[in-house]
Each structure stands twice: as C-alpha cells, then as structure tokens.
Amino acid sequence: MTTELSSMRLPVNVVSCGVAVLRVPISQPVQTAFGTMIDRPAVVVTLTNAEGISGYGEVWCNFPSCGAEHRARLLVTEIAPLILNQPFDNPPAAFEWMCSKLSLLVNQTGEHGPLAQAMAGVDMALWDLSAKQRGKPLYKLLNARSTRIRCYASGINPTTPEQTALAHSKAGYQAFKLKVGFDDDLDFSNALAMREKLGPDAPIMLDANQAWDLPRAQKMTELLSCINPAWMEEPLAVDAPQSQWQQLARSSPIPLAAGENLRGLEAFGQLIESGVCKFIQPDAAKWGGITGCHTVAKAATGAGLCYCPHWLGGGVGLLASAHLLASIGGDGMLEIDGNPNPLRDTLAGPLPVLDRGGWTLPERAGIRLDTTCAAEYSTLELQV
C-alpha cells in the first residue's frame, strides 16, 4: 500500500516535546473479555515548534493501565531525540524516519506494541501541529468531503446492557456495540435483551475481544445471528491462523470486523486482500497514527470494505479518529465509548453535539486546541 499523504508539502520542525500521563479513577469498571478496567489512563504528547504552536497526540494505554508510564518514558528517551530539531517535509516523512531508526530497538526489546503506540501518538501530534500551522482543521488538511460523520455507542458492559443501550438511545445514539465473549448463555441473553429493547432496526454490533477459538466462534456467530448484528468484532485471536479466519468468514452469518490489534501496512494489506472482514478497524493510537491509518482506510475503502476507526481512550485520539473518518468518507461510524471517562470529555471538550446519531465536526484548527484543562489528572509529566 502507498500513501497519498507522502506527497503533501507540509514542513514541520519540532523544538520541544512534552509527555503527560493522566489518570482518573472510575466508579463503573469497564468489562471486557480480556480484563476489567478500574481506572482510565491517557498518555498525551505535546510537540511544539519554534513559533510556540503546539500539536497534541495520544498514545494507546488503556489496559493494563500500568503501561501508561512505560510508554511515556519510551517516548521521551527513545523517540523524542529522533525528531527534535529535525526538519521534515511532512508528518509521513517523520513517521518513516521513526520507523527506520527504531527498527533495531524493536527487534532488540521485543516491544513492538509499546514503541508502535508511542510513535502513533507522535505522528498524531505532528499532524495536529501541521494543521494548526496552516490554520485548518485536520479534516480539511486531509481533504475531507464532508464534516458530517456517523457515530455509535461502544463499550456496553454485560451487566443490564439493554438499560445502558436505552440510555444511550435517549442521548441521541442510533447504533450500539455490546461486549460479548463472557459466558455463552449470558452473551445470548444480553444480545436478545438489547434487540428487544432497541427494536428491529437499530444497528447492534458485537465485540468478542478475541475470546473464542474457532469452534466456539462458529457456534456463537450462528447463535447470535438471530438478532441480526451489523458485525462481529474480533471473534478469534488476531494471531489465529489465516485458515481459521477464512473458515469462520465462510460459515458466519454475521459479517466480521477486526484491525485494532494489527500493526504495519503488510498485516493490514493481508487482511484487506483476504476479504475475511467486511469492516476494517485500525486504531490511530495503537499503530500508524494519522499517516498509517489514513493509508489503511484508503486501501480498505478502495477494496469495497468499510473503514470504522477503533477507539476506546481519551479525547485527543477520539477527535483524531473523527477527523480521519471525515477524510475517508463512506459508511463507517465513529466509535464513542459510552462509559464515563473524564479524560475523554475534558481532553476533547467541548465535544460536538450528537444529532441524529452523528457529529458535525467544528471549524477549528488542528485536532485539539489545548490540553492544560486536564492538568488536574496528571500523575507524571516529562519534558525534552
């Protein structure tokens, strides 16, 4: 896959880098098949140019939350020195530079994920900075065709999910994603309760978070198909043999979705070419930032698949995902975590108004104007 962004003339030169770890306890834990989140962390990177303009990015760190400090220190010690006072023609050039310079360290440490996530946050901040230098919203810099995007309420826990979904419906959401991958009977009763509560036409998606092996995934996709889900997300482990994904795709009456746990253009290229998933879901803070995810999204839509950005973190990455989706267009939806999270609301604030199940993105430069409003949640601050 090639990126059309690499030809854009967007000079950027960073003179300082700041990283903050933010953390807030929550009263309502977020339950997934792989674990329960008892607090909400965020790692925010700030890149500033010689004129004092700052761009912001977010590094994935939501579980386990103890990884937030580690990613922040990796960014400061290993990545920031590579980009400071180093002029680049555009953010993709910086992203390629980081990947090249850190390839040996990735092999040496085996820390593919944490380093990819830290680089993704830097790339996001570089794009924010580039847009602000030109006084444009990021979606305009990326040549968005429309400022209107569809949204869905995500992160619906397995405890009385129908009541949670109904509350989201009253708040303006028109599509909903339920966590499954727990007890089979519980998954089925929860899905059925949501369908009965929301009616026959509301889009309901299901997310198993890699919980099943092939026989169980085949059983559950057949069982849950009675509620007519829009997709089944990560029914198998991301590293399950390709033959198993292909076998499930042939037998499943529910379209499959995946992508949040893939890294690299080659891996996404194989997923897209295979056709096993109808919905492609890269996470801009887990791998690739704006540069990588825009490339993947373009390739996916070009292959007739649907790009739906994955997101379950703080507000900076949420807005970046919204700008990405607007720039790609199509029938994809923005994932908005429906669980309480001050780091989403504060870092993104004010969020666009949810209207008829979607957002209209505001006319303001970059992704996010400022992050000092979240200083009260800071537990670690580093500066280079």
Give the chain's mean pLDDT: 93
The span from the CA of 52 to the CA of 15, in Å, is 9
The average pLDDT across 150-163 equals: 95
Same domain, 163 and 250: yes
Residues 10, 143, single domain; the answer is: no
Q: Does 336 or 376 have the greater pLDDT score?
A: 336
The boundaries of the domain holding residue 26 are 4-135+372-383
Q: Is the model's pLDDT at 2 over the cut of 70?
A: no
pLDDT at 263 > cutoff 70 = yes
In this predicted model, what pLDDT tens digit does every residue of 291-318 receive, in sequence order? 999 999 999 999 999 999 999 999 999 9
The answer as to whether 319 is a domain residue is yes
* Per-residue model confidence as pLDDT tens digits over 174-191: 999 999 999 999 999 999
40 pLDDT band, cuts 50/70/90, is confident
- CB burial of 346-363 (b: ≥16 within 10 Å; e: otherwise) equals bbbeeebebeebbbebee
Whether 367 is in a domain gets the answer no
Choice among 32-46, 131-145, 316-330 with the minimum mean pLDDT: 32-46
Instruction: Let me know whether 232 and 334 are in one domain.
Output: yes
Q: Are residues 116 and 84 part of one domain?
A: yes
Question: Regarding predicted confidence, which is higher, 66 or 225?
Answer: 225
One-letter amino acid of 381: E
**Is 326 in the same domain as 203?**
yes
Tell me, yes or no, whether 165 and 131 share the same domain: no
Contact 295, 288 (CB under 8 A): yes
Q: What is the DSSP string of 105-131?
A: HHHHH--HHHHHHHHHHHHHHHHHHHH
Angle at 103 between CA 99 and CA 107, to 5 degrees: 145
- Distances in Å between the alpha carbon of 226 and those of 139, 181, 195, 204? 38, 17, 10, 12
Looking up residue 8, the CATH number of its domain turns out to be 3.30.390.10
What mean pLDDT comes out for the span 263-269? 96
Report pLDDT for 153: 97
Encode pLDDT of 112-150 as tens digits: 999 999 999 999 999 999 999 999 999 999 999 889 999
- 340 and 323 part of one domain: yes
Tokens linked to 1: 């896959």
The reply to whether 366 falls in a domain is: no
Give the Cα separation of 44 and 46 in Å (integer).
7
Domain count, the chain: 2
β-strands 232-233, 256-258: how paired? parallel
Whether residue 304 sits in one domain with residue 239: yes
Provide the whole-model pTM: 0.94
| Domain annotation covers residue 365 | no
The predicted model gives 235-261 an average pLDDT of 97
> What CA–CA distance (Å, rounded) separates 55 from 128?
5
Answer yes or no: is pLDDT of 35 > 80: no
What integer pLDDT is reported at residue 1 of this predicted model?
A: 54
pLDDT tens by residue, 193-242: 999 999 999 999 999 999 999 999 999 999 999 999 999 999 999 999 99
β strands within the chain, DSSP E: 16-32, 35-48, 54-59, 148-156, 176-179, 204-207, 232-233, 256-258, 279-280, 306-307, 333-337, 358-360, 378-383
pLDDT score for 377: 86
179 and 244, same domain (yes or no): yes
